Amino acid sequence: MSNLQSSGRGGAGNIVEKNNSPPLQPEDLQTPTLKTSVVTTGRGGTGNMAKNSDPVETRLLQDVEPYVAP
């Protein structure tokens, strides 16, 4: 069994020894609330930017699952 774990999205700089990493807490898994007036909804580019005028809609934009408008 490996003594290493990933501590981020990827890359060698995110691989750490398990005993040097703090234990995961439930609050670490909560999606943060976006507070800026403009948010990105994808990997980048101006086409992936949206106004943060509705907290519920903005939260849905953070989800991985596709959002289907009512």
**Torsion sign, CA atoms 58, 43, 46, 34:** positive
Predicted local distance difference test score (pLDDT) of residue 9? 66
CA-based nearest residue to 48, from 61, 64, 59: 61
Tell me how crowded residue 54 is: count the other CB atoms within 10 A of its CB.
11
Question: Angle at Cα 67 formed by Cα 62 and Cα 70, nearest 5°?
Answer: 135
What is d(CA 3, CA 65) in angstroms, rounded to the nearest whole number? 32
Judged against a pLDDT cut of 70, whether residue 61 lies above it is answered with yes
Domain boundaries along the sequence of the chain:
4-62
Write down the pTM of the prediction.
Answer: 0.46
**Per-residue pLDDT reduced to its tens digit, 9-51:** 667 777 888 887 777 788 877 777 888 998 887 766 777 888 8
Give the mean pLDDT of 43-60.
81
Would you state the pLDDT for residue 37? 92
Question: In the prediction, which pLDDT does 68 show?
Answer: 74
